[in-house]
Structure 1
């Protein structure tokens, strides 16, 4: 919990203090940080205490709000990762276009939260405090105290249907979309299509090509790591919930009805550590890239970064896309004439080209 709060809190502070991080693409990352903090202050401290004491001491209201909060956090996390994957897929696989605005990303984020809350409203009605004197879990011995459990279902069928729908919407569908998008992205990067579309490829030195290759490898590692972290953290808890809904628990789950769900819960809660670690790693690598030598060519598949800077040429001519997607040109000296140009499809550009759309994620 301490690591999660410290790491995610540090990322949140970095977002609020560093205006360069306030991009549309990072809105989705900020969404992940917020859900991680929500888990840190609710599920992480409450669930282990409940499992160890075998007594719910947090009141009837928290008994209803905790499942809603936990499930909403999982929904928002999975669909925020899906939104990131879709945005990257459209940006990389499609033609060059204006980047997603902060307003658009905020609308998508709000939509994710609203839909996630609506889907999980049944938890408010199904969970209730049960007196341990009358509660016999798994047909064993009764316990003393209070338990927070799902009892307000009209039979097993509605509960199983709802549980199956939650698994599909919370895990299966997002994972399918994420896997498809990242597989297509990695295939395109591996085939070297991005660099092949840059007409000055032949002019690159060995060091510049190696830099581009290393950057693509780093992107591959990050994308694969995000998918593995998502699957590794949430799959055990998802499997446990499905087995409980359909009464298919193996013997070790029946013998230890609190221990193994707690283990699955701890694994799921470890997700609050991976997001800030990935963020800090990306920030560190990006900061290192800004301190590299003056002549560099870099290609960022998260966004689009194509830059050429000649250390021997003090006179430069910069062209950038504004938020509307139009081409702005700005020359430090209008009387100076550049000596070369890049033929990359941008209209009537006979100067050094620098197209930069920087995104952390």
Structure 2
């Protein structure tokens, strides 16, 4: 078998070591950044943190044990870990894919139905608890039907199913719930989000300058690339390993194929590498996460003056719209942020978060349509909570004061 070649093993060891270090570092950093700042405790960030926790489990349990077992040719970690490692691996994969699905669904509702109340933080935590509970229950057979036995003085950790039919049915069901259904849901959500954002960009009222049109086109391209990357990486990362596992369940002789172990390790390494991509896709490309990363890691060029120390001075999280979390965040130094709710003339019934003059946040303030101020409407995209901002002058406000604001 080519996998027994020392050079091939050295290459895989280097690859798995890189995945382990990068994945562990990136996901621990995500958890730390969210934990240290209460302003980061939003629905989307809770899902991202849960994804990071599942990726940490994958890094610590799936990345090192699988190649070591194959390269050593025996199981040296004892009977308890024989059952626990496989069980924890399967559980963490379930948690990871279901959390990615939850993030896609949450962003779908935020973009497609912007005037409906956002998911509450308590609801988000309940969903996360359900994900963990389902994952722990659904993967019990993986931990139960493992056999730690000695053959010719060597210990092995192998699957021992009650029957071949049970193995095939359970393996097929796992592949459908763990990959096929989440992939369909994620693809559907992000395609709809992309279409909606494109339509929204074309239907913005008012004249546009060439610079504004160019900025809109670039923003749309960037968002679409991000959505395509999310779907593509999810599919490319997990599809090969699921195909290998299904083939292994359907055909008992796959282990005798010449390049089976090589194909398995290639697909397994690709799947495990998702632990490195996720922090980048779902956290680093978010402006608020990136700002916090720069505070934690000086090597990324964080500022050390008053601007750096006063994070909350120009970074706001609005949570007061009828008790619903709107999570409107902006890095503008001087702005008025209005939640995307339906106004009721002659007053704009909107919760205003004011940062004029560097003062504190005025919660529950009402803004009259005749006030000579700059109004900013904030919209969400798939890549981050706030990525583009359109300004309406006083005339635009007067023109729309009898109509709901159109979300940009």
CA distance in 2, matches of 1:54, 1:208: 62
Residues 129/286 of structure 1: CA separation in 2 closer, same or farther (3 Å cut): closer
Report the counterpart of residue 241 of structure 1 in structure 2.
Answer: 245
Residues 317/95 of structure 1: CA separation in 2 closer, same or farther (3 Å cut): closer
Q: What SS does structure 1 have at the residue aligned with 2:244? A: helix
2:48 to 29, 46, 61: 29
Residues 318/274 of structure 1: CA separation in 2 closer, same or farther (3 Å cut): closer
For structure 2, list consecutive stretches of 5 or more residues without a partner in the other structure: 1-19, 295-325, 342-348, 357-364, 373-393
Report the counterpart of residue 94 of structure 1 in structure 2.
Answer: 113
Q: What SS does structure 1 have at the residue aligned with 2:68? A: helix
1:262 paired with 2:265, answer yes
Residues 150/328 of structure 1: CA separation in 2 closer, same or farther (3 Å cut): same
1:220 paired with 2:254, answer no
Q: Across the two proteins, how many residue pairs are aligned to each other?
A: 316
CA distance in 1, matches of 2:253, 2:401: 61
Report the counterpart of residue 210 of structure 2 in structure 1.
Answer: 206
Larger RCO (CA within 8 A; separation ≥ 6): 1
Deviations 1:38-94 (A, max 9, x none): 111111111111111011111111111111111111111111111111112222222
1:229 paired with 2:263, answer no
1:328 paired with 2:332, answer no
1:340 paired with 2:346, answer no
- What TM-score do the two structures reach when normalised by structure 2? 0.68
For structure 1, list consecutive stretches of 5 or more residues without a partner in the other structure: 134-143, 289-302, 357-361
CA distance in 2, matches of 1:43, 1:114: 20
2:33 to 14, 19, 23: 14
Q: What SS does structure 2 have at the residue aligned with 1:340? A: helix
Report the counterpart of residue 123 of structure 2 in structure 1.
Answer: 104
CA distance in 1, matches of 2:289, 2:267: 33
Report the counterpart of residue 300 of structure 2 in structure 1.
Answer: none
The equivalences for 1:245-324 within 5 A come to 245-247=249-251, 254-255=257-258, 258-278=261-281, 279-283=283-287, 318-320=337-339
Q: Is the 8 A contact 1:51 1:259 kept in 2?
A: no
Deviations 1:201-256 (A, max 9, x none): 323322223223222222211111111111111111111111111116568x6235
Residues 179/329 of structure 1: CA separation in 2 closer, same or farther (3 Å cut): closer
Q: Report how far residue 346 of structure 1 moved.
A: 7.2
CA distance in 1, matches of 2:59, 2:24: 6
Q: Report how far residue 262 of structure 1 moved.
A: 2.4
Residues 154/221 of structure 1: CA separation in 2 closer, same or farther (3 Å cut): same
Residues 39/342 of structure 1: CA separation in 2 closer, same or farther (3 Å cut): same
